[in-house]
Amino acid sequence: MTIPSNAISFHDKQIALAHGAGGEASRRLIEGLIRPAFSNPILDGLNDSAVFAAPAGRLAMTSDSYVVRPLQFPGGSIGELAIHGTVNDLAMAGARPFGLTSTLILEAGLDTAILRREITAMADAARRIGVPILGGDTKVVEHGKADGLYISTTGLGIVDPRANLNVARIQEGDKILLSGPIGNHGIAILLARTELEIEADIRSDTRPLTPLVIALLDALGEGLKWLRDATRGGVASALNELARDLNTFISIREEAIPIDDPVRGACELLGLDPLHVANEGQFVAVVRAADAEAALKALRSTPGGQRACLVGEIESGQFGRVLARSSYGGTRVVEMLIGDPLPRIC
Amino acid sequence: MHYVDEFREPKLIRKAVEEIHSIARGLRHVRIMEVCGGHTHSIFRFGLKDLLPGNIELIHGPGCPVCVLPSGRLDEGLSLANDPHVIFTAFGDMMRVPGSKGSPLECQARGADVRIVYSPLDALKVAQQNPDRQVVFFAIGFETTAPSTALTVLRARQLQIPNFAVYSNHVTIAPAIRAILDSPDLQLDAFIGPGHVSTVIGCEPYEFIARDYGCPVAVSGFEPLDLLQSLVLVLRQLRTGTATVENQYGRAVTQTGNPAALKVLSEVFEVRPTFEWRGLGSIPGSAFRLQAEFAPWDAEQTMPIERVSVEDPITAPCGDVLRGFLKPPQCPLFGKSCNPEHPIGALMVSSEGACAAHFKYVPRELSDVPMGLVQ
């Protein structure tokens, strides 16, 4: 359908409770800012639900929410995080994104320039990936109750027919791959909070992971057994979850894990373990041992995958633990993240 | 990466390990205490214990300023946080330490204004930015952090900032080591001397350990190679029957310490007659308080602190672990009712706590996992 020629424009300077009340102000916000930014045939109708024919095949669905502070940081902002994060959850199921919805919780008093920037960031990220935003909701809460802006999403994806991702298929000897350097996102956020007077050129690694996952499916098919993105809690938490599910040891070689020098320096200074720092553009994969070489080759020849590496393997054991072995023979346990050293990271 | 990679270099580490094995062959069972909690963590984080021969036993010392603080002191400080007028500030390490009415983070969740600062100067900034609130800085640490607290108090006086107060829990390391050496149920042969506190106080304060108790000391850095080299130094001394204080951490520590830091300490602080330590009891001359002229910035003088005397739970032998008498896994609560998410004592949550190090890095159930040098 075409948008009527007496289209509303949105010039309000700041968000007020009225913008969430469902009346004139709400209409201005949705029709003047949100619809033009996200425009697609399904969204444009502004109906209570998005209606579409069910796509064929197995479907994947995910929900996600974003409360990151500050809203904007080196390498990205909350809007991009929301789109990439949702798409990545789908990618970890071997799915290409079909459509998203997004809920915005706005704080009364929010400068609309900031909202406009984030809506644009979401629209641009979604457009680059080729996924439509099919619907959403907008609420406004009193000043002081939302820290600017919270975003919550739901994503629907179509699982690639070659994907057979199942923890039950993992065996002793399977190899663990990491898509690239860790720690960039969490440290970028921490430094952007400017509570610390540390300067470093560290940027969030937020990006869509779908192309890397498709590359693995192209090269390995069923040889790809398991995927998990290393977001909150970092690589350590992702692998600990796996170890507990499998009830076996997982070993990693610490020296094999790529970490950019400034990130390593910041972690050393702050007493943070990079394995526990959140990422927004990295994942771990478990592949059949015989396919590890081909997997690395596929990742490394895909844009963004050049620093993919082999970091560990599944060992036998009677309980679920992640062990890090150093090249000089020392072994230590890598625990799940305890507490919250870096709150509001994504 | 400078000062990190060189001290984690595998070939050098293997060499140091070989030398340790070689010297240790000529020794009976030796008990070496690493005083500093940071060293305990390094030892576990880098899996160094697995590399040592069986006749070398490492004993964890009380060098964790958070762990040795009786929970009554934390309760007293936190009682101030319940006043909505007060902003309670402390290092991040304090945030999960359990007081009898909850940790600082739990108080924050209940509505108290509790904030993490990375430096006492940040706490002073909070006071400047919030002139209508009272900021309390819960000061903790050995002589390592006391100079920065002292500098901050001097700055507060210089700028005449009225709404900033320090609640001082600074303690000194040498009296604690003496208390350990005087303890009848602990036999120690040598010490790995603390690293960071020595950058301030130098190596001379440890001379009494060698002179009066005949124990060799090596002041050590925190990287794997530092600790292994320090072990080589004390083991050599034990072989030859000498007892002196050696400085392995020469890149950061000098013989006489940091004169500017020591000066500012003596300007601002005085030594308390006595101070209560968890596990070590009352130790004379072991803690700092602000001198009288700084009373306007001394929370103990200016603020209504509810004096509390809290007995540490009888069932929790935190004191025995702090003294090195018990190893963390020997505590009946370790890993069961006491774990990092539900800690009974500070040793389980402090970044320098021996129990935290054990829990974090050493597999509890493992007895047959291949550890140690890959052949």
**pLDDT confidence band for A327 (50 / 70 / 90):** confident
| pLDDT the model gives residue B369 | 43
Q: Kindly indicate the confidence band of residue B311, based on its pLDDT and cuts at 50, 70 and 90.
A: low
CATH number at residue A232: 3.90.650.10
User: Residue B347 — very low, low, confident or very high, per pLDDT cuts 50/70/90?
Assistant: confident
Asked whether residue B367 carries a pLDDT value surpassing 70, the answer given is: no
- Whether residue A179 is found in the same domain as residue A134: no
- The number of folded domains in chain A is 2
- How much is the pLDDT for A134? 96
From chain B, the residues in CB contact with A332 under 8 A are: 44-47, 361-362
Decide which of A159, A181, A203 is a domain's last residue.
A159
* B280 pLDDT above the threshold of 90: no
| Average pLDDT over all residues of chain B | 89
Domain annotation covers residue A46? yes
**What's the rounded mean pLDDT across residues B26-47?**
91
Residue in the block written with tokens 């030398």: B19
Q: Are A27 and A152 found together in one domain?
A: yes
The answer as to whether A129 is a domain residue is: yes
B369/A338 CB distance under 8 A: no
> What is the structure's pLDDT at A7?
66
**When comparing pLDDT for B259 and B65, which is higher?**
B259
Query: pLDDT (tens digit, 9 = 90+) per residue, B327-345?
Result: 898 998 998 889 888 888 8
User: B340 — phi, psi (to 5°)?
Assistant: -55, -30
Condensed to tens digits (0 to 9), the pLDDT of residues A291-310 reads 999 999 999 999 999 999 99
Q: Please, which pLDDT band fits residue B370 given cuts at 50, 70 and 90?
A: very low
Q: Is the pLDDT of residue B186 over 90?
A: no
Q: Tell me, yes or no, whether A187 and A267 share the same domain.
A: yes
Domain assignment of residue A88, yes or no? yes
Closest approach of A175 to chain B, Cα-based (Å): 19
Are A136 and A261 within one domain? no
The answer on A175 and A155 residing in a single domain is no
Both A171 and A66 in one domain: the answer is no
Assess if residue A7 is contained within a domain: no
Task: Give B160-179 as a DSSP string.
Answer: T-TTEEEEEEEB-HHHHHHH
- Residue B371: predicted pLDDT: 43
All structural domains of chain B: 6-64+175-247 (3.40.50.11750), 71-173+258-302 (3.40.50.11740), 318-355 (no CATH)
Considering only residues A34 and B3, tell me which one the structure prediction assigns the higher pLDDT. Answer: A34
Asked if the structure places residue A342 within a domain, the reply is no
Contacts of A7 (CB under 8 A, 6+ apart): A31, A32, A36
pLDDT at B29 > cutoff 90: yes
Does residue A344 fall inside a structural domain?
Answer: no
**A288/A206 same-domain check:** yes
- The candidate with the shortest Cα–Cα distance to B48, out of B64, B62, B63, B32, is B32
| Separation in Å, CA of B1 to nearest CA in chain A | 7
Would you call A163 helix, strand, or coil by DSSP? coil
Give residue B372's pLDDT band: very low, low, confident or very high (50, 70, 90). Answer: very low
Domain that holds residue A86: 17-159
Query: Is A123 found in the same domain as A52?
Result: yes
Of A183-187, A257-261, B103-107, B181-185, the range with the lowest mean pLDDT is B181-185
**Cβ distance of B96 and A319 shorter than 8 Å:** no
Distance of CA B3 to the CA centre of its chain: 22
Interface of B with A in 27-56 (CB under 8 A): 44-48, 50-51
Q: Tell me the per-residue pLDDT of B350-362, one tens digit each, with 9 for 90 and over.
A: 878 889 888 888 7
Higher pLDDT, A117 or B118: A117
Select the more confidently predicted residue: A75 or A343.
Answer: A75
> Mean pLDDT throughout B154-172?
97
Say what the pLDDT of residue B364 is. 65
**Mean pLDDT on B300-312:** 77
- Give the pLDDT score at B317: 86
Domain co-membership, A291 together with A175: yes
Q: Residue A6 domain-assigned?
A: no
Indicate the residue of B47, B340, B366 with minimum beta-carbon distance to A326.
B47
Eight-class DSSP state of A31 = I
Q: For chain A, how many residues are written?
A: 346
Q: Does B368 reach chain A within 8 Å, measured CB to CB?
A: no
pLDDT range class, residue A345, cuts 50, 70, 90: low
Given A106, A135, A159, the domain boundary residue is A159
| Residue A103 sits in the same domain as residue A246 | no
Is position A10 within any domain?
Answer: no
Domain limit, last residue, from A159, A191, A215: A159
Q: Do A225 and A80 fall within a single domain?
A: no
Q: What is the pLDDT of residue B325?
A: 83
Pair (A65, A178) in one structural domain: no
pTM of the predicted model over 0.95: no
* Residue ranges with strand state E in chain A: 59-66, 72-73, 76-77, 95-107, 133-141, 149-159, 175-178, 224-229, 249-253, 283-287, 309-314, 321-325, 331-334
Residues 6+ apart with CB under 8 A from A173: A289, A313, A314
Distance from CA of A340 to the nearest CA of B (A): 10
Q: What b-and-e string marks burial along A224-242, b requiring 16 or more CB atoms within 10 Å of the CB?
A: bbbbbbbbbbbbbbbbbbb
Q: What is the CATH number of the domain that holds A133?
A: 3.30.1330.10
Instruction: Flag whether pLDDT at B310 surpasses 80.
Output: no
Task: Average the pLDDT over A215-244 and give the result.
Answer: 96
Hey, what are A313's tokens?
């393997």
